[in-house]
Structure 1
Amino acid sequence: MGRDTESTSIDAGRLEQGLVSDVEWKPGKGEYAVMFTLALISLMVALDATILVSVLPTLAVDLGGSATDAFWAGTSYLLTCAVCQPFIAALSDIFGRKEMLIASVLFFTLGTVICAPIAKDFTVFFVGRSIQGIGGGGIITMGQVIFADIVPLRQRPKYFSLVLAAWALGSVLGPLIGGLFVEHVIWPWCFYINFPFCALGLVLVPIYVKLITVKTSLVSKLARVDWVGGFFFIGGCTSFLVGISSAGVQYEWHSAQALTPMVVGVIGVIVSVVWEIYGAREPFLRPSLFCSASALATYACALFQGFILFCALYYIPFYFTAIKFESPTQSGLDIFPVTCFLLPGSIVISLITTRIGRYRWAIWGGWVVTATGCGLLVLLDADTKTPVWVVILAIFGIGNGMLLTSVNVGIQAVSRVEDAGRAAAMYAFMRTLGMSIGVAIGGTVFQNLMSKKLDELGLPQSIAHNSEAFVKTMSLMDPEDPKRIGSMQAYLAGFHGVSWMITGAALASFAISLIIRRHSMDKSLDSQFTLKGARTLNAPVMPSASTLVRPEGVPQDMMSAGNSLPPIIKNSPFCSRTPSAFDTDSTYAGTKRSQDSHAGTQGYYSHDSDNPEAATAETAITAYYIHPGGRIDTVDILSDQRASSQTASINEVNKPAATDVEINRDWSPEPCFEKTLASGRLPSNMAEHEAVFADLTPAWMPER
């Protein structure tokens, strides 16, 4: 529930027991150790994902490959990094968070060993990069999931900014460090640099990431794994990404070599979704993650954000190399304005979001600023002055910094409490998927527009198919050489095409983000994995009576400081975390301004109209079901007859009548669930009430 007034008194007894609310929560030494560990290995993964940008031309020559091989050297990592993330998150629910994080670091280390000391040709190199991608994807998704386990959502933006900062720093430092190694050492050092991080990760993760898990046998764990769904999903995504990555670069878009894997991939993903809904006993893709338009819109924003950011990180350094003829090291330095403003932007948004408990404004503002920065990239040419491109890159960095935090928080806010870990993992998957698609489609757009411009100028289109290698040749030409001038125009045409593409993606994302509805960030932790020695969260702490503002229709006796129930907000839906509203610990809500007792429970009914005489055939009554911990279910009861009194006793409400009972979903685009008794009347006894609320599960009712 949103806290507009935050004067909270903390009970000393609860503090002694280690019980705190989400607003009071602060990390201890154990949480800080986990955060540092996750930030360290996230820096390693981000560094590795971008360090080859400056190295690809040299790599292609040393391993005896082509420009296409160099392209796949970068794409293979992102591909496997993306497709395995949801399945790894599901495996961590079964085998444990620490175990899957250690396995991910081991995979990453093995892939690094294959790439650097072992690989002597591109075939072996591709194998190593693919294994690295699996490990990197696991590290990314486990970082998201573990944070959702140990940090409440209200505080998550503030502290996850540590990991985001490390990830962003690695993403931008990668091209710079890669350029330094190419110029002064040799390219294998791009992988040797990972070994200290891998060693630290393998030491720190077992020591500090001590999340308590339920002990079960290996056989029972293996039986729980959704092997069928994982096979079709990973296989389908891989096939689709291989097709879309090769289209326009290695094969024509309309060729069988490009279309066949894309079609097979789409079919595989569809089969996996059908299996998850109808066949899987424990689906690794939870349908509840996608049950609202807000969730779908936020996932789309995550995909586009990864798409745009990696397109820029790949092609902005290439612009400085191909158009400004700068060294790989200098081109890496030139992208620093993105880092210098992305990190502060992300951190500032994290602090503000945590403070005010709102995130949509940051998503909308982030897309506006990002679209502006993307559009301004079109102004870059051979004569652009340094202050101009610095400002353009700074605007781009600020926008992406805003999105890194706000989209991540938004996804978890619109999801159920118990889906927090899976939602965080799905965010990581969508963002990484966007990176893979962005690099692939960006390469296609760049090459096609460059080829078109070369053809118009009467220059060979083969230059576009080997654009990285031709940069060195072009730099040695006479500045007045028509071929050099024409080639530079072709390079610019490709860059501007990519800029227009990501600008369109940013504008489309802004339009999509308007669908996202407001949800509360004040959610308690609900994970089966807890950190040893950590303080646990209990129900939201009630402010003192003097600080509470009594909502209309809420009796004064509900506002006492000692009352463990939060104030009722009229006609606002909240999530039920229990299957029944009538267990012995729940509170049943009854009348508008007076209390009634029923089966040891109490509560309130609220007429829609403040005028009691208006409670006629069209009047809706809202029943509130208040659970321990502050969660509230609301049900709109539409009756053809209603007593005109402000006070409606439970017996009056239970009168037989032609009545519909509808779950209130004001915070979603459409009602998610409607239920009418077969007799067409209100439930008149406990059994019928149980029947109405049997389906009132978190899958149907999102938190506000």
Structure 2
Amino acid sequence: MAHFYQGASRPAEDVGYPVMSETRESSNEYDPHLEKGMLPEVEWKPSSKEYAVMATLAIISLMVALDATILVSVLPTLAVDLNGTATDAFWAGTSYLLTSAVCQPFIAALSDIFGRKELLLVSIFLFTLGTLLCAPVARTFTVFFVGRSIQGIGGGGIITLGQVIFADIVPLRQRPKFFALVQISWALGSVLGPLIGGLFVEHATWAWCFYINFPFCAIGLILVPIYVKLTTVKSSLVSKLARVDWIGGFLFIGGLTSFLVGISWGGVQYAWGSVQTIGPIIVGTAGVVLAIVWEIYGAREPFLRPSLFRSGSALATYVCALFQGFILFCALYYVPFYFTAVKFESPVQAGLDIFPATCVLLPSSIVTSLITTRMGRYRWAIWSGWVITAIGCGLLVLLDADTETAAWATILIVFGIGHGMLLTSLNIGIQAVSNVEDAGRAAAMYAFMRALGMSIGVAVGGSVFLNVMINELAELGLPESIAHNSEVYVEALSQMDPEDPVRIASLQAYVTGFQGVYWTITATAIASFFISLVIKRFSMDKGLQSDFTLEGGRAVKAPLMASSSSTMVPPANYSHPGSNGTHSSNYTQSAFGADSPYSSANASQVSQMGWQTRDNVAYDNTTGLARRDSIVAYYIQPGGRIVSVNLHPNARRSGEMGSTSDLGMQHFGAATNVDGRYDPSSESLLQEVRAGDQLGPYPAEYEAGITNVTPAWIPTR
């Protein structure tokens, strides 16, 4: 008899077993199932409950996206009103992005412990508090920076929890189509932010850039308690606090903050070789390294799961997400600045000028989402998106004082199409290459990497622009103070005679500075394309395996319990491709009882089954694991997809099998990394799973000493 229980699987290392996994990534064998897809598209449609959650997340995501970009066209006016410099204006944007990025992984981990709804409400509250400090309270840049930093923490929590909640309630195959609602809100807010900010500056005051947030905050604080009702296992506050990875969070957040501050100071506020720049970078790097070591070897419940990074495909996708955020925010900050500084357009007009990118980014993202859902494939969109983005970035280099409207509009259209494709494909790609149990954390890590790229992009973009412009000004015989006050100097420049040599030379310096930024993001896009070629094909046909369930929702859990009318067929017999040829394997039951340590980790539904050799049956109530010569435990999803394999050290490769007594190990013909470690993003595919097949029962002599085992059936497809 096989055992399905309402419990969670812990990584195989927790019980001291190395792991073998079978995928195309670990074998040179051609597997047609990876190309065709093991399972048919899941027929899942959201109920009104899911739609309500999606709408709520879309509304507050729009607010966060607006706030992240609304200051782009406001910075010159803001610097003047608060008696600041270009550096102060630079930090007005960077402080928000920095805190937004560094706190996201920790907030996602806290939501696993304290609840999705609770952390989402805290995030909205922090965003509201930060908004209050920025306007109407702020009268100096010091108060303004504090407000923006608090806003960033709240905004980062809203972004990452939106990703995590979608992974809780929507199956992966359908996720691109429905997450497009949030992507549209994010994209719409990102591109409309500069336009709305410009309108406020021209017709009201920059403070309205923050007043506009209050209605959204009120809506979020009302709707989240009503609709975002994700339930999980109850526990005491003391036990929850004990689970928090305080040491890892402190090291990571502190280290990354120090690193980003150093990067942001370099070449802008201090020289790159100065102690003020090098010191924070070194201290920050050491802090992040210590955090990683702690997460791997010391943390009881790491907030940075090592399992997220044990696949080359996952690492490549995370790097691509970081570079996409880097490129996007460099463009969002410096393309509108180009229109105000070189074309002498108003903030409103500069916001309107990026509309060509807006009008194609949204349709591009939506179409990509629909095609990805239909095909069940995502790599084509990642590769195509990077090629188009690289072309768009390269064309930006052509922008100068004489560029015609048709030319720059076409360039922005190309840029928008590429990024629209990447917004969807990278997000879904990282969840496809990850274990189904890590879907929420993987989505949160994607959001973090993109936000980290945004904060680095603004910092590096500002440094590149400033230093390239200073060099050009020096060659033209103009003071470098123009570059240090580039936003403020635009007003004086616009008042000069068009034939004034100083104006002409200054414009050339601005254009050269912008080109430095555009060359940087072009090189980044090209590098990202080649990195994306590492990403392998993984199936999108995965169910949900989360500790959190939406009340009244239509979750498709993985695995599903079979109906009581299922037919018992002991033992089940399957065939699958192997490097030693396709062969059959007989399955018997694995004894994981109700006392198993797996069942207390996070209460998600997992199936454990495995093969045993013929000797030494003994159920260990301490570990919850039946000890034998060799044991293999499988984590199963609907339809028989094996998402990870736990292999005992005594197990042998199929090529070494010599008799029927080795029945349990005949299966391992398809793998090349039998002795490898746990890889949750790897999958093994069975050729056939028959409806109603039961795994087991054991021969009578295997039942001795096994307790707390409940019969159940393999999920059908």
- Trace 1:150-299 onto structure 2 (pairs within 5 A): 150-299=169-318
Q: Where does residue 394 of structure 2 map in the other structure?
A: 375
Q: Say which of 425, 445, 451 aligns to 2:444.
A: 425
In the alignment, is residue 309 of structure 1 matched against residue 319 of structure 2?
no
- Trace 1:370-519 onto structure 2 (pairs within 5 A): 370-519=389-538
Pair 1:628–1:474, CA change in 2 (3 A)? closer
Unaligned runs of 5+ in 1: 9-21, 543-559, 574-579, 591-595, 600-622, 644-648, 675-684, 690-704
Pair 1:151–1:61, CA change in 2 (3 A)? same
| Count of residue pairs brought into register by the alignment | 606
- Distance apart, 1:339 and its partner CA: 1.0
Give the letter aligned to residue 253 of structure 1: W
In the alignment, is residue 361 of structure 1 matched against residue 380 of structure 2?
yes
- Distance apart, 1:499 and its partner CA: 0.6
- Looking at structure 1, the residues matched to 38 and 433 of structure 2 have their Cα atoms a distance apart, in angstroms, of 23
Q: For the Cα contact (< 8 Å) 1:211–1:530, is it kept in 2?
A: yes
- Distance apart, 1:376 and its partner CA: 0.5
Q: For the Cα contact (< 8 Å) 2:357–2:413, is it kept in 1?
A: yes
Per-residue CA deviations over 1:494-524 (Å, capped at 9, x if unaligned) read: 1111111000000111111111111111111
Q: Where does residue 524 of structure 1 map in the other structure?
A: 543
- Distance apart, 1:664 and its partner CA: 2.3
Q: Where does residue 41 of structure 1 map in the other structure?
A: 60
- Distance apart, 1:269 and its partner CA: 0.6
- Looking at structure 1, the residues matched to 480 and 151 of structure 2 have their Cα atoms a distance apart, in angstroms, of 34
Q: Where does residue 129 of structure 2 map in the other structure?
A: 110
Pair 1:134–1:5, CA change in 2 (3 A)? closer
- Looking at structure 1, the residues matched to 167 and 635 of structure 2 have their Cα atoms a distance apart, in angstroms, of 25
- Distance apart, 1:642 and its partner CA: 6.0
Q: Where does residue 343 of structure 1 map in the other structure?
A: 362
In the alignment, is residue 126 of structure 1 matched against residue 133 of structure 2?
no
- Distance apart, 1:569 and its partner CA: 4.3
Give the letter aligned to residue 126 of structure 1: F
Per-residue CA deviations over 1:184-235 (Å, capped at 9, x if unaligned) read: 1011000000000000000000000000122211111111111111111100
- Looking at structure 1, the residues matched to 661 and 123 of structure 2 have their Cα atoms a distance apart, in angstroms, of 59
Q: Where does residue 661 of structure 2 map in the other structure?
A: 651
Give the letter aligned to residue 231 of structure 2: I
SS of 1:64's equivalent?
Answer: coil
- Distance apart, 1:650 and its partner CA: 3.6
In the alignment, is residue 631 of structure 1 matched against residue 645 of structure 2?
no
Pair 1:385–1:563, CA change in 2 (3 A)? farther
Q: For the Cα contact (< 8 Å) 1:663–1:673, is it kept in 2?
A: no
Per-residue CA deviations over 1:609-658 (Å, capped at 9, x if unaligned) read: xxxxxxxxxxxxxx996957323367895466667xxxxx7436479xxx
Q: For the Cα contact (< 8 Å) 1:589–1:625, is it kept in 2?
A: no
Pair 1:642–1:78, CA change in 2 (3 A)? closer
- Looking at structure 2, the residues matched to 563 and 363 of structure 1 have their Cα atoms a distance apart, in angstroms, of 44
- Looking at structure 2, the residues matched to 190 and 531 of structure 1 have their Cα atoms a distance apart, in angstroms, of 34
Give the letter aligned to residue 275 of structure 2: A
SS of 1:506's equivalent?
Answer: helix
SS of 2:235's equivalent?
Answer: coil
Per-residue CA deviations over 1:306-351 (Å, capped at 9, x if unaligned) read: 0000000000001111111111000000001111111111111101
- Distance apart, 1:425 and its partner CA: 0.6
Pair 1:563–1:638, CA change in 2 (3 A)? closer
- Distance apart, 1:564 and its partner CA: 13
- Distance apart, 1:541 and its partner CA: 9.7
- Distance apart, 1:401 and its partner CA: 0.6
Pair 1:122–1:270, CA change in 2 (3 A)? same
SS of 2:172's equivalent?
Answer: coil
Per-residue CA deviations over 1:123-142 (Å, capped at 9, x if unaligned) read: 11111100000000000000
Q: Where does residue 693 of structure 1 map in the other structure?
A: none
Give the letter aligned to residue 320 of structure 1: F
Per-residue CA deviations over 1:393-443 (Å, capped at 9, x if unaligned) read: 000000001101000011111111111111111101000000000000000
- Distance apart, 1:67 and its partner CA: 1.2
SS of 2:482's equivalent?
Answer: helix
Give the letter aligned to residue 310 of structure 1: F
- Looking at structure 1, the residues matched to 147 and 634 of structure 2 have their Cα atoms a distance apart, in angstroms, of 55
Q: Say which of 550, 554, 563 aligns to 1:535.
A: 554
Q: Where does residue 100 of structure 2 map in the other structure?
A: 81
Q: For the Cα contact (< 8 Å) 1:115–1:129, is it kept in 2?
A: yes
Q: For the Cα contact (< 8 Å) 2:434–2:442, is it kept in 1?
A: yes
Q: For the Cα contact (< 8 Å) 1:586–1:628, is it kept in 2?
A: no
- Looking at structure 1, the residues matched to 178 and 637 of structure 2 have their Cα atoms a distance apart, in angstroms, of 28
- Looking at structure 2, the residues matched to 472 and 568 of structure 1 have their Cα atoms a distance apart, in angstroms, of 74
Pair 1:126–1:640, CA change in 2 (3 A)? closer
- Distance apart, 1:665 and its partner CA: 5.9
Identity fraction in percent: 68
Q: For the Cα contact (< 8 Å) 1:321–1:327, is it kept in 2?
A: yes
- Looking at structure 1, the residues matched to 37 and 425 of structure 2 have their Cα atoms a distance apart, in angstroms, of 23
Pair 1:641–1:405, CA change in 2 (3 A)? closer
Per-residue CA deviations over 1:654-679 (Å, capped at 9, x if unaligned) read: 79xxx99788268x9x95469xxxxx
Per-residue CA deviations over 1:18-57 (Å, capped at 9, x if unaligned) read: xxxx611111100000000000000000000000111111
After superposing on structure 2, the runs of 4+ consecutive aligned residues of structure 1 that deviate more than 2 Å are: 1-8, 538-542, 562-569, 580-590, 623-629, 631-643, 649-655, 659-666, 670-674
Q: Where does residue 339 of structure 2 map in the other structure?
A: 320
Q: For the Cα contact (< 8 Å) 1:662–1:673, is it kept in 2?
A: no
Provide the TM-score with structure 2 as the length reference: 0.79
Per-residue CA deviations over 1:576-625 (Å, capped at 9, x if unaligned) read: xxxx95659766689xxxxx9xx9xxxxxxxxxxxxxxxxxxxxxxx996
Give the letter aligned to residue 181 of structure 2: L
Pair 1:539–1:435, CA change in 2 (3 A)? closer
Q: Where does residue 554 of structure 1 map in the other structure?
A: none
- Distance apart, 1:7 and its partner CA: 10
Q: Where does residue 570 of structure 1 map in the other structure?
A: 577
Q: How large is the RMSD of aligned CA atoms in angstroms?
A: 3.4
Q: Say which of 667, 671, 674 aligns to 1:664.
A: 671
Provide the TM-score with structure 1 as the length reference: 0.80
- Distance apart, 1:460 and its partner CA: 0.9
Pair 1:506–1:146, CA change in 2 (3 A)? same
